[in-house]
Structure 1
Amino acid sequence: MARRGKKPKGRPINGWIIFDKPKGMGSTEAVSKMKWMFFAQKAGHAGTLDPLASGMLPIALGDATKTVPFVMDGRKVYRFSVRWGAETTTDDTEGPVVNSSDARPSRADIEDLLADYTGEISQVPPNFSAIKIAGERAYDLAREGETVEIAARTVSVHRLDIVEMPDAETTVFEAECGKGTYVRAIARDLGRDLGCYGHVAELRRVSVGAFGEDDLVPLSELEAAAEEGMEELDAEAIESGARPRVVDFEPLDEYLVSPESALSDLYEVMLSDEQASRVLSGNPVLLRGRDAPAFCDEAYATGHGRLIALGSVEEGSFRPKRVFGGKG
């Protein structure tokens, strides 16, 4: 007799939390905290953010995890401060200084170089990065004292602007870039080209894909919402060491963003109830209307008030490739 699979622990909730990760918290730690707080069956994030960085870490719960690649492939906006005069092993404040200089760049000096750092550029990722070398993370090898050789790669920097220069030591930039771009490498290379060296002193991610700065939710708000829905323990339970748990998730769930909000760059197919039922069974449906495309490599379908499937449009029909079976 075949054994039944274990029932997943947690709630079958689906959506995104656009988490404003505080400085000092790791991305994996943040995902674990959100999964526990929302008592979600599964969770994942759309792009690692270093512990020393703050800002946007989109966290997907439930079926939203199926849309993670579309967010990761989207453009990202970073606001960061570069401190001139020192280059470090980690290209940020964590590592020891390896090169230093008394020279400081003027605004004009920096602006003359910005064109070289926009468009398709070649970039060597920092030695302390998550790049894999022969199956090992570069930062693990670097911490063990091994010489790390990372090949240059082509990345896209759509925009690199000076925000302000509060003092001679510091320049604040904003960069809009594509997947795989390292802001720390931009700071390192700018410092070398300017002849003064430099490293990232502060880093904040303010935008990822379809999600903007106005979508950010700080940890304090989420903790307050969790507290609002926490059970009340009697004196006996408290004395026995019992910990209260969230029993009313409505205040927390107000912060969930729908899974399809990550797909704003894709064509949306709006289905009738009958069509939605067909697609949920894995069947294609014919699209009607003058605005319906004949072909579309990537599209998503909505129906029954929610995201139904990811797929494509071929010969005027929506063909599901990945069906979303969860409720909500």
Structure 2
Amino acid sequence: MARRGKKPKGRPVNGWVILDKPKGMGSTDAVAKIKWLYFAQKAGHAGTLDPLASGMLPIALGDATKTVPFVMDGRKVYRFSVRWGAETTTDDTEGPVTQTSEERPSRAAIEALLPDYTGEITQVPPAFSAIKIDGERAYDLAREGETVEIAARTVEVLRLEIVDQPDAETTVFEAECGKGTYVRAIARDLGRDLGCYGHVVELRRTSVGAFTEDDLVPLEALMEAAEEGRERLDAEAVEAGAKARVVDFAPLDDYVVAPETALAELYEVMLTDEQAARVLSGNPVILRGRDAPVFCEEAFATGHGRMIALGAIEEGAFKPKRVFGGRG
């Protein structure tokens, strides 16, 4: 006799929470906190953000986890402050200083180098990074005292500009870059090229893929929303050790963004109810209409008022690859 699958624990909430991660919280801890607040069956994040960094950490709930790769491949915007005169083992404030200099760069000297750091550039990621070496995270090996050698890689920096220079010690930059770019490595390499050394003292991510600063939600706002939905316990229950629990998730759910919001750059196939039923069963559907594309490598389909599948358009037909809320 076949055993029934174990019923997943939690609510089947689907969508994105665009968390404004506070400084000092790790990405894994942030995901766990949001999953707990929403009592969600499944959660994941699109792009790790260092504990010392703040800002955008897109957290996917339920079916939105299937769209995580599209967000991770999107462009990111960082604002970061570089302190000149010292280089550290971690390229930020967490590690000990390894080299120092009395030199301080002028704004003109910095700006003259910025073209060398835009477009496709080659950089060696920081030793303290999440990159895997023989199955181990680089930062784990580095913390154990091992010498970490990471190969240089090509990354894309679309924009790098100075936004402030409050004093001779500090320059504030904004960078728009592609997947895998480390702004800590930019700070380190700029410092070396300028002959003064440098490391990141503040780092904030303001944009990831289709999500912008306007989408950011502070953790405090989510905590307050959860509190709104908690049941009220009388004094006798509290004295007995009972704990209030969330019984109305509406205030929290107001902060959930639809899964398809992450797919703004993909072609959308809008299906009739009949077509949606076929796609939800894993079947392809012929696209009709003069403007219907014949081929599209990546597309998503909507029907019944929501996103129902990710797939591709081949020979004028939408072919689902991942179905939301149906088989697959």
TM-score w.r.t. length of structure 1 = 0.98
Counterpart of 2:68 in 1: which secondary structure? Answer: helix
Secondary structure, aligned partner of 2:116 = helix
Deviation string 1:134-184 (CA, Å, 9 cap, x unpaired) is 111111111111111110000010100100101000000000000000010
Q: Determine if the alignment matches structure 1 residue 233 to structure 2 residue 230.
A: no
What is the rounded CA distance, in whole Å, between the counterparts of 1:205 and 1:297 in structure 2? 30
| Local SS of the residue matching 2:139 | helix
| Distance in 1 separating the partners of 2:284 and 2:132 | 40
1:272-283 alignment, distance < 5 Å: 272-283=272-283
**Which residue is equivalent to 1:195?**
195
1-side partners of 2:56 and 2:165: how far apart? Answer: 24
- Show the 5 A alignment for 1:134-153: 134-153=134-153
Partner Cα distance (1:320, 1:2) in 2: 28
Q: Distance in 2 between matches of 1:54 and 1:209?
A: 17
Deviation at 1:278, TM superposition (A): 0.5
RMSD: 0.7
How many equivalent residue pairs?
326
- 1:223 equivalenced with 2:244 (yes/no): no
1:245 to partner: Cα distance: 1.0
Q: Counterparts of 1:156-171 in structure 2 under 5 Å?
A: 156-171=156-171
User: What's 1:185 paired with?
Assistant: 185
Matched, 1:297 2:297: yes
Return the alpha-carbon distance in structure 1 between the equivalents of residues 5 and 175 of structure 2. Answer: 47
TM alignment of 1:91-130, pairs within 5 A: 91-130=91-130
Q: Which residue of 2 aligns with 1:8?
A: 8
Corresponding residue of 2:62:
62
* Local SS of the residue matching 1:56: strand
Per the alignment, residue 264 of structure 1 pairs with 264
What does residue 36 of structure 2 align with?
36
Report the Cα distance in structure 2 between the residues aligned to 1:161 and 1:33, rounded to whole angstroms: 35
What amino acid sits opposite 1:255 in the alignment? Y
Deviation sequence 1:174-224 (CA, Å, 0-9, x none)? 000000000100000000000000000000000000000010000111111
> Aligned with 1:226: secondary structure?
helix
Counterpart of 2:204 in structure 1 is: 204
The amino acid that maps onto 2:280 is: L
Once residues 78 and 162 of structure 2 are traced to their aligned partners in structure 1, the CA distance between those partners, rounded to angstroms, is: 12
Q: List runs of 5+ in structure 2 lacking aligned partners.
A: none
- Aligned partner of 1:290: which letter? R
Write the distance in 2 (CA, Å) between the matches of 1:245 and 1:86: 49
Matches of 1:225 and 1:19, distance apart in 2 = 14
Distance in 1 of aligned mates of 2:286 and 2:237: 59
Report the secondary structure of 2:5's partner residue. coil
Q: Which moved more, 1:317-326 or 1:203-212?
A: 317-326
Does residue 90 of the first structure (1) align with residue 93 of the second (2)? no
- SS of the residue aligned with 1:95? coil
For residues 76 and 38 of structure 1, the distance between their equivalents in structure 2, rounded to whole angstroms, comes to: 26
Equivalent residue, structure 2, for 1:323 = 323
Secondary structure at the counterpart of residue 185 of structure 2: helix
CA distance in 2, matches of 1:93, 1:285: 55
CA distance in 2, matches of 1:177, 1:238: 51
Amino acid at match of 2:151: A
**CA deviations over 1:9-52 (Å, ceiling 9, x no partner):** 00001000000000000000000000000010000000000000
Secondary structure of 1:105's match? coil
